[in-house]
A and B are shown apart, each in its own frame.
Chain A
Amino acid sequence: MKFVHIFIIASILLSSNFLKADDVRTENKIAKNLRCLICQGQSVYDSDSEFATSLKLVIKNKIQQGMSEEQIYSFLKIKYGEWILYEPEFNKNTYFLWLLPILMFIVGGAIIFKLFIIKKN
């Protein structure tokens, strides 16, 4: 019986780690979406540079302070500019980048439609 008690207490204590695991997951997610500015071609998550390790620590602290993912992104955007984010925002410089795949999809669809479907008829 005593054994069962210990087991229950231990499992309750250990289950509090789930919350922690959630934090770590967000932490990693954010770090993967950030460009390591001094090591080109790597994300902050991948990098072990001094800059990246500090930044990972900052992300961890901010999450513990209760900041949301979006808030952390906007904080870093103010400090380092939009370049730090891997996903570019939709604005006048990037609309072509965002719309091109959709445009190609539509044009491609039109070509297929013309070649195969109209021809068949």
Chain B
Amino acid sequence: MKSKVFPLILILIFFIIFVIFFKGLKNSNIYTPKTNLEIKVPSFELKSFENNNIISEKIFKDDEYYLMNIWASWCIPCREEHEFLMELKKNQKIKLIGFNYKDNFKNAKSFLKDLGNPYDIIVLDEDGTSSIDWGAYGVPESFLIYQNNIIKRFIGPINNDDLLEIQKIIK
């Protein structure tokens, strides 16, 4: 009796382990944070493209929508999303803030010259430390801001669906 139960238990254990791992295969292994969290806009003081000091409190007004877009000229997906940002620029209800991440100033300028400048203000995050305050992962990344709160967060390049979603929110 005992010799029959033991292999059965062993098979059962292996089966359970198999099921757990098999199910685990389908899990996404890319971690995305909870994007529905409302977070206050972190304050910062950074240099702008025109070499002025810019304080975050002066940029973000309560009654307007802002899209803060982290970008860099060396980032390939940023080129892809650029046309959607240019499209969004046509909308008067939203202001675009460019957050130039660890970039070479010359390259950034020619990037905007080639593809157009959708941003109302551009600030420079030269060493990437300010982006950590935003809880950002890298480039490209965008934050939709209203009343000094981050209401939506887009990790990765903005696509057409995201654009439609933004336009729907700010309507």
Contact = CB atoms under 8 A, between A and B. Distances in A.
A40 B30 CA distance: 8
Interface in B106-138: 127-129, 131-135, 137-138
B102 interface: yes
A83 interface: yes
Contact of A57 (B30, B34, B101, B127): B127
Contacts of A37: 31, 137
Question: Which label, helix, strand, loop or mixed, suits the secondary structure of the A interface?
Answer: helix
Contact of A50 (B29, B30, B128, B134): B128
A83 B135 CA distance: 13
Interface string A37-49: 1101000000001
Interface residues of A, number: 16
B28 to A, nearest CB: 11
A55 B131 CA distance: 9
A100 to B, nearest CB: 15
B129 A57 contact: yes
B135 A80 contact: yes
A29 to B, nearest CB: 18
A61 interface: yes
Contact residue range for chain B?
Answer: 10 to 19
Interface in A77-102: 79-81, 83
A5 B134 CA distance: 51
Question: Which label, helix, strand, loop or mixed, suits the secondary structure of the B interface?
Answer: loop
Interface string B58-79: 0000000000000000000000
A83 B102 contact: no
A58 interface: yes
Given A81-B34, A83-B31, A83-B33, A58 B138 contact: no
Nearest to B75: A50
Contacts of B131: 54
Interface of A: 37-38, 40, 49-51, 53-55, 57-58, 61, 79-81, 83
17 contacts: A37-B137, A40-B29, A40-B30, A40-B31, A49-B138, A50-B101, A50-B102, A50-B128, A51-B137, A51-B138, A54-B127, A54-B131, A57-B129, A79-B132, A79-B134, A79-B135, A83-B31
